[in-house]
Amino acid sequence: MIYFEHPLSERVRSFLRIEHLFNRFDAECIRADSPWAHHLALFTLFEIMECAGRAELKLDILQELERQKQLLVNSRLVEPEEAEKQRQQLQKTAENLQGIQQKFGQHLRENDWLMAIKQRMFVPGGTSPFDLSSYHFWQQLPFERRLADLKKWIGTLLPTQQAIALLLNILRSNTLTVDCVAQKGNYQRNSLAQNIHMLVIEVEQQSCALPEVSANKYFTHIRFLEASQEHARGRPLNQDVSFKLVMCSFDPVVE
């Protein structure tokens, strides 16, 4: 099976993009001893700065963490001991995020060396050794030294990563799953369950089908396209496609 997540709000869209970038950063950091892996990790770090630098992001996260705490207080679906454990986790995550007083990534912006590299990375071939000799020197340092630097630079961004990971775990845990068939590649549904914030389409990988989703609280349309590595948008599929539609919410799902 292959899973396609489709956010239904700008907030969830931001959360998923930031999660994707942090996962990529972590993967590049621990790869084999290669300066190119750490080059990609540093590039990803700069992408995280841009993607998560929106001033309202921290407030959005803190508000949702607080709302989740209130939901636990009023919930009858969670045992008291488990509810208290989850509440403490939410509280600690919020405190860690609030403990970062400076603007997201400010310590990186104040590092002239990093900002010079960031500027050159968006120029084709701009980080060649003769363009940035000091960066070339850093790339030749031992793996452990480069890894320590990357961990230091990402350090104050981790509370944001942890908070988003917690919220997305909640989102992916509150689900309603429906078995569906897209007749001749098309599926329509008049309404979703209440307060749905993300859709997940699960489809067999061998079907080579890509879902194209148009959804709001009144109407959902999913059209499956043929996977293609030659065209940005594949041809519409004309055969029936079986799939699972998973509706995800920050609240307990009620159909």
- Examine the fold and report which residue of 168, 187, 213 is the final residue of a domain before the chain moves on: 168
Nearest to 203 by CA among 246, 253, 146: 246
Residue type, 71: L
Per the CB < 8 A criterion, the answer to whether 6 and 199 are in contact is yes
Q: Which residues contact 203 (CB under 8 A, 6 or more apart)?
A: 1, 2, 4, 209, 211, 224, 241, 242, 243, 244
Which token pair is 8? 């239904």
Nearest to 165 by CA among 70, 255, 73, 52: 52
CA-CA distance, 178 to 246, in Å (whole number)?
Answer: 6
Q: Is residue 160 part of a domain?
A: yes
CA-CA distance, 37 to 195, in Å (whole number)?
Answer: 40
CA-CA distance, 4 to 18, in Å (whole number)?
Answer: 17
Are 25 and 78 within one domain?
Answer: yes
Angle between helices 143-154 and 35-51 (to 10 degrees): 10
Q: What is the pLDDT along the chain (255 residues), one digit of tens a residue?
A: 999 999 999 999 999 999 999 999 998 887 767 899 999 999 999 999 999 888 789 999 999 999 999 888 776 666 777 778 888 999 999 999 998 878 888 899 999 999 999 999 989 999 999 999 999 999 999 999 999 999 999 998 999 999 999 999 999 999 999 999 999 999 998 877 778 999 999 999 988 899 999 987 778 999 999 988 877 777 889 999 999 999 999 988 665
- Examine the fold and report which residue of 148, 168, 188 is the final residue of a domain before the chain moves on: 168
| CATH number of the domain enclosing 215 | 2.60.440.10
Residue 40 is predicted with a pLDDT of: 94
CA angle, 182 as apex, 180 and 188 as ends, to 5°?
85
CA angle, 235 as apex, 231 and 239 as ends, to 5°?
145
Number of domains the chain contains: 2
Domain interval for residue 129: 10-168
Are 59 and 127 within one domain?
Answer: yes
Residues in the chain: 255
Cα separations (Å) of 60 from 65, 69, 74, 155? 9, 14, 21, 21
DSSP letter assigned to residue 235: P
Are 159 and 180 within one domain?
Answer: no
Q: Is residue 255 part of a domain?
A: no
Are 133 and 213 within one domain?
Answer: no
Residue 227 is predicted with a pLDDT of: 87
Predicted TM-score of the model (pTM):
0.91
Nearest to 187 by CA among 214, 208, 226, 205: 214
